[in-house]
Amino acid sequence: MDRRWIARAVVALVAGCGPAPAAPAPPVRFMHTLSPPEAAALDELLAGRAEPVERTLLPFSRAEAVVGATLARADDCPDLIRVDATWLPALAAAARLVPPPPALAARDWTPAARDLATAGGALVAVPMSLDGLVLVRPSAQPAPTPWPPSSLDALEAEAAAATQGARHGLGLRVDGYWLVPFLRARGADVADGGRGTLGIDGPAAEAALAELASLFADGIAAPPAPPGAEAETEAARFHRGELALLVTGPWAYPALATPGPDGLTGLDVAAVPGAPRGAQLLVVPTCARAPERAWALAAELTAPATQVAWSRRLGLVPTTLTALAAAAPLAQATARALADATPLPRHPLSAALFDDLSPAVAAVVAGDATAAEALAGVRRAWTRALEAR
């Protein structure tokens, strides 16, 4: 036999006897509620990543329930979940979360973001972006005076003044979340499970709801959008110039603003007095199969460079001081507008409050019920919820 064939056989034998190659690690499972533009940005970010990431999109309306049920079953568990800040208290109370590693916890998170990622006095999540309600107007149009409005009354007055013909002074959603500034302006608020207060059990809440409904009735606020088509309707009206002012959040920026070299442009942002502030957080459940790799992914998704890039592309508000300093002007303006906003009560009940508040707001705006009637039903529902807790 030829010597070369013998040598090849020996090499093949030695190679065959070597250690078996390590099996590839299973992909990190990431469950999220990203909007389509955000999901596209995520896909691009992860496209060049060596370790694959399995992404699962949850409809926002079912995400809290699905996440809760999934983590309770713990048989098909994701490694990393993007959650709304209002869901965090319930997850933390159920001890479903793994705290972030010290190195990640020690990042220069903005105080507002760190606060929203904290439950029971400990950081249990990594803040991905800050959000809440802000006042938006086309920057190409003359600003109403005074700008920004110093109070909700001033905002309503400016909206009324801007209402003319087919042009409405204000864009609002028929949603309990949009009622919060009105409640707070009149001295009411949503229920606080921690203190056991309903927040809407006085005339102030009824006045706030009636005030919101009157904006629609008077034509100051644009007519309610069809259910499920709120975002598209708002964007279309905004671009047609039918809205002088729009109360919305950073999630709507990609549809409202114009992409430019320095990020999204064309929007002037100001604070909505009494607005709620929230955040999108990354959490690792206790049932995660690969928590270390999950936190590594979370670190990538919240890296300053990523946050700056997404602030330019999507208008997302960074949650680290480093990224915020270098963020797109629109994101920085939003951060300033949210500086005085107040988070919803940090209680497991808070997220579910809007299940009953939003239908009540819709009933009053539609004229099917008075504010007193609608809020009475909400009080009964919230009382049941508080009792259940």
Which stretches of the chain bind another protein, using CB under 8 A?
A: 27, 29, 32, 34, 36, 39-40, 42-43, 54-66, 69, 76, 228, 351-352, 354-356, 358-364, 368-369, 373-374, 376-378, 380-381, 384
The CB-of-307 to another protein minimum distance in angstroms stands at 20
- To which residue do tokens 């008077």 refer? 218
CB-wise, 330 or 352, nearer to another protein? 352
Rg (CA), the chain: 24
Backbone angles phi and psi of 271, in degrees to 5: -80, 145
The CB-of-69 to another protein minimum distance in angstroms stands at 8
CB-wise, 39 or 236, nearer to another protein? 39
The CB-of-101 to another protein minimum distance in angstroms stands at 26
Distance CA 355, CA 375 (A): 13
The CB-of-283 to another protein minimum distance in angstroms stands at 17
CB-wise, 109 or 182, nearer to another protein? 182
Q: How far is CA 142 from CA 61, 139, 145, 249, 313, in A?
A: 37, 7, 9, 21, 26
CB-wise, 109 or 178, nearer to another protein? 178
* Helix, coil or strand: residue 33: coil
CB-wise, 37 or 329, nearer to another protein? 37
**219: amino acid identity, one letter:** G
The CB-of-381 to another protein minimum distance in angstroms stands at 6
CB-wise, 38 or 158, nearer to another protein? 38
The CB-of-180 to another protein minimum distance in angstroms stands at 16
Taking Cα atoms as reference points, which of 350, 386, 364, 355 lies closest to residue 87?
Answer: 350
Distance CA 187, CA 181 (A): 10
Q: Report yes or no: 292 and 80 within 8 Å, Cβ to Cβ.
A: no
* Helix, coil or strand: residue 2: coil
